[in-house]
Amino acid sequence: MTQKNQQALDYETHRRISEYKKALAGWQKEQNFCLFGTLTWKYKSGLNEAQRKRALARFFNALDRKIYKGKGIKRGKRIERLVFFEKGRSRENLHAHFFCKSENLKQTKQIILEAHRFWMNEVDDAAEIAIDTNSFGDDRHGYGIKEYWLDDNEQLLTQLCHLTH
């Protein structure tokens, strides 16, 4: 392949990735997620990627159980959410971002409280959890896929996402 053909291919790939990210961010904005969170582990954590993904699964399952109890879970109730796993610019800073919904203000507060409690007390090598309200002016909607330029695979952890529609 000539250098000119490679540049054209690179431009086309870049354009398609840009379109994809813009479309996903637009769709995500329409979903009206009320909370945005970041979950990090200690810098020198010995946990590998698979162990961290299992920790995320435990975290979200525990959060669902606190919010909806066993009966609600059996009926299929879960916190509506999108979960993204990133490696950071260094490709070694494994962390997660999530967007989620609540049914009312009381539940929003409960999600924030229980998320902090579980992450800091029950997750091995947990460093920080930050949860903020997600308002339209914050323009975070494409944040979970900002690293899509750097990897050939998706950062969206579909096995941890739950959407009702």
- Classify residue 146: in a domain, yes or no: yes
- Classify residue 50: in a domain, yes or no: yes
- Classify residue 165: in a domain, yes or no: no
Q: Residue 140 and residue 143: Cα distance in Å, rounded?
A: 5
How do residues 139-155 score in pLDDT, each as one tens digit? 556 555 655 555 555 57
CATH number at residue 88: 3.30.70.2690
Domain hosting 84: range is 3-160
- Classify residue 82: in a domain, yes or no: yes
Output the pTM of the full model.
Answer: 0.80
- Classify residue 149: in a domain, yes or no: yes
Quick one: angle between helices 105-122 and 49-74, nearest 10?
A: 140
- The DSSP H or E segment spanning 95 is strand 95-100
Under-50 pLDDT residues of the chain: none
Task: Tell me which long-range contacts 91-95 makes (C-beta under 8 A, separation of at least 24).
Answer: 91/150, 93/43, 94/41, 94/47, 94/49, 94/52, 95/38, 95/39, 95/40, 95/41
Tokens 């203000």 correspond to what residue? Answer: 105
- Classify residue 130: in a domain, yes or no: yes
The stretches of 85-164 forming alpha helices (DSSP H) are 105-122
CA-to-CA dists, residue 130 to 11, 99, 102, 115, angstroms: 36, 12, 17, 9
How do residues 107-139 score in pLDDT, each as one tens digit? 999 999 999 999 999 999 999 999 988 765 555
Number of domains, the chain = 1
- Classify residue 8: in a domain, yes or no: yes
